[in-house]
Amino acid sequence: MDTLLRALNEPETMRIVAATTTASVREACRRQGVTGVAAVALGRALTAGVLLATLAKGEKERVRIHLQGDGPLGALLVDAHGDGSVRACFDSEHTPDTPLASGDQARISTAQALGTAGHLVITRDLGFGHPYQGSVELSSGEVDEDIEYYLDHSEQLPTILRTEEVLDSQGHVLRSAGILVQGFPGADSDLLDLPRARLEPGNLRSLLLAHERTTRELVGLALGGAPFRAMLEHSIQFRCNCGPARAQTVLSTLGASDLEKLALERPETEVKCSFCGDITVVSADQLRELAGRLRESHS
């Protein structure tokens, strides 16, 4: 079972969030039909979303990540919630096969597949009715490095973020995990030096994911064995909120006139969810009813 653990170091000068996300990432990759570098990129983004949705410590918290690069994979979208539910997708149904680079890599790079030019937008909703959004230009094309850069520069939080996937010989996700370390305001500037050294790119793969780890092991290894206090812990799962209501919300963006034209053209309209691939069928009568409600709301 995928799990997320929030913890504090013993002096309570920094918070550490660790997550194991193997099952959720596998399900997201299965839904998207991706392996190899595409699976790595998707998994790292999904895991980062799970780690970020922990600021308010509440189930209503929501974090959305939109990473748009100039590489062949196109845009990555993540929707993560404080209750542990998460979903992720590419914005195209035709994600190209991107082979792994040749050679023995300690860490698989996503830069060529995602691109190094583009932007990252993160939207936070802490559940208080006032979402806020920030954005930065991509700095490397490595998912966790770019999100760490965003947290350092846009939200001005000294941060270490590492997410990693281990693939099997067929390019499917074997293991997935991530760690977020953030210093509290007023803490010493060198506070993150030890965990940063422990979590240098590639170390999470070679040191922490050599075999299955628990979240407590991940926190302990990131801190070099220093004591910590475990706080909240909960499960993580891939879950999509699509369905009839969501399909009608999407169709509403067409406007009443286009909905009525669509109802005349075909007896049924299919709405496919980009995240999970499920299809919701909406009848012509339902389209007409929706168009009528839209007209009433604008009268």
Q: What is the pLDDT of residue 103?
A: 41
Which residues in the chain show pLDDT less than 70? 93-105, 207-208, 299
Question: Both tokens of residue 117?
Answer: 């030019």
Residue 95 confidence (pLDDT): 62
Q: For residue 265, how many other CB atoms are within 10 A of its CB?
A: 10
Name the one residue in this structure whose structure tokens are 């404080």: 82
pLDDT at 237: 97
The CA distances from residue 57 to 40, 60, 125, 186, in Å, are 27, 9, 12, 21
Backbone angles phi, psi at 55, to 5 degrees: -70, -40
CATH 3.40.50.10860 fits 244-297, yes or no: no
How far apart are the C-alpha atoms of 277 and 30, rounded to whole Å? Answer: 10
In the chain, the DSSP E strands lie at: 2-9, 14-20, 62-69, 75-81, 85-90, 118-125, 132-137, 159-167, 173-183, 228-238, 268-272, 279-283
For residue 249, the model assigns a pLDDT of 86
pLDDT the model gives residue 202? 72
Rg (CA), the chain: 21
What pLDDT is attached to residue 93? 61
Q: Which two tokens stand for residue 59?
A: 């189930």
- Whole-angstrom Cα distance, residue 160 to residue 170? 30
- pLDDT at position 211 is 78
The label of the residue with tokens 């290894």 reads 221
Q: Count of CB atoms within 10 A of residue 143's CB?
A: 29
- One CATH from 3.40.50.2300, 1.10.645.10, 3.20.20.70, 3.55.30.10 for 2-238: 3.55.30.10
Look up the pTM and report it: 0.89
**Domain spans in the chain, listed from the N-terminal domain onward:** 2-238, 244-297
* Under 8 Å between Cβ of 199 and 162: yes
